[in-house]
Amino acid sequence: MRVLVIADMEGISGIETVDACAPGHPEYPGGQERLAAEVNVLAEAAFAAGASSVSVIDWHAGGGNIEAHALDARVRIVAEDLSSGYDVAFLIGFHAMAGTRPAFISHTMFRGLALEMDGRATGELGLLSRWAGEWGLPVALVAGDRAATREAEEFLPETPTLTMKLAQSWDRADALPVERTHAALRAEVARTLGRPEGWRVYRPQTPVRFRLRPREGAEVAARLPWLTREDGGWLSGELPRVKDLIDLIDVLSALSGAEQRAELLRRLRDDPVAGAALRREEAAARERAARENPWP
């Protein structure tokens, strides 16, 4: 029994602030420790239930958050590739889609993106469950904050969920006691792996029809040949696979980041001395906007 864990960070046990998920922030190493600990708890329970292997995709912010030395020696960090063949997937540490309230760090892939797939507002749980479905890979469990588990109940209605925290605002949450959530995770992994008849595959509709609305980089993105500009800032298209859509969103994320950096450079040319203050000002403005009015 080959187990795949897809691990995000915002919904991990004990993480209560956005800063714990932000590389470079003083709280981030503590968030990394909690992420590795939760993967280890799941792996321990999976091996005890008879798993032959446990692999983990580090999903948060492009990877690099899970340090190999912090993991159970039997666990492998793997690339975003399902062709190797797995028997069952667990989605842990997840957050709700962009615009969800109340929800902890709600977004879809990157901040400032709204997504619809097959005419339905969709987040990362919808994308990942359907990507797994393309390979016939069932999902046995979803864990994250309460908004994420509500979303899972809609997009993965036959899959059990575990709630790890409740949002107090976009950037803060009240986490349930880690000992309690880890005990619940062990019990749920043992239960679900013992009942493979309860695993469910969520196959996507193909071709995949979608609409995207990025807050930054829309003008550049509209030049991509497989996107059509629509009213309201939306870009629409059709792709053969869900993984193609995930890859496209990664491209849009890079374009958005490039546009922000270009604007920063333009402003710095006008007043180079103000560079440090300008960076602080823009970071604070982004945080305020995210708290007060998460996209869309």
Per-residue pLDDT tens digits for 68-124: 999 999 999 999 999 989 999 999 999 999 999 899 999 999 988 999 999 999 999
Mean of pLDDT values over 182-190: 98
What span, in angstroms and rounded, lies between the C-alpha atoms of 278 and 31? 28
* Ordered structural domains, the chain, with CATH: 2-198 (3.40.50.10780), 208-292 (no CATH)
Phi-psi domain of 166 (left: phi exceeds 0; alpha: psi -120 through 50; beta: other): beta
- Which residue intervals of 201-241 are DSSP H helices? 218-221
pLDDT of residue 294: 47
pTM of this structure: 0.90
Q: Would you say 284 and 277 are in contact if contact means Cβ atoms under 8 Å apart? A: no
- Report which of residues 1 and 274 the model is more confident about: 1
Assigned token pair, 292: 């007060």
Task: Note whether 117 and 111 are within 8 A (CB).
Answer: no
Query: What gap in Å lies between CA 116 and CA 65, rounded to an integer?
Result: 28
Q: How far is it, in rounded angstroms, from Cα 137 to Cα 50? A: 18
pLDDT of residue 268: 60
Kindly tell me if the per-residue pLDDT of 149 is higher than 50. yes
Q: What pLDDT, on a 0 to 100 scale, did the predictor assign at position 165?
A: 98
Residue 221 has pLDDT above 90, yes or no: no
The predicted-structure confidence for 225-270, as pLDDT tens digits, reads as follows 889 999 999 999 999 999 999 999 998 888 776 555 555 556 666 6
For 8-62, how does the pLDDT look when each residue is reduced to its tens digit (9 = 90+)? 999 999 999 999 999 989 999 999 999 999 999 999 999 999 999 999 999 999 9
Integer Cα distance of 288 and 284 in angstroms: 6
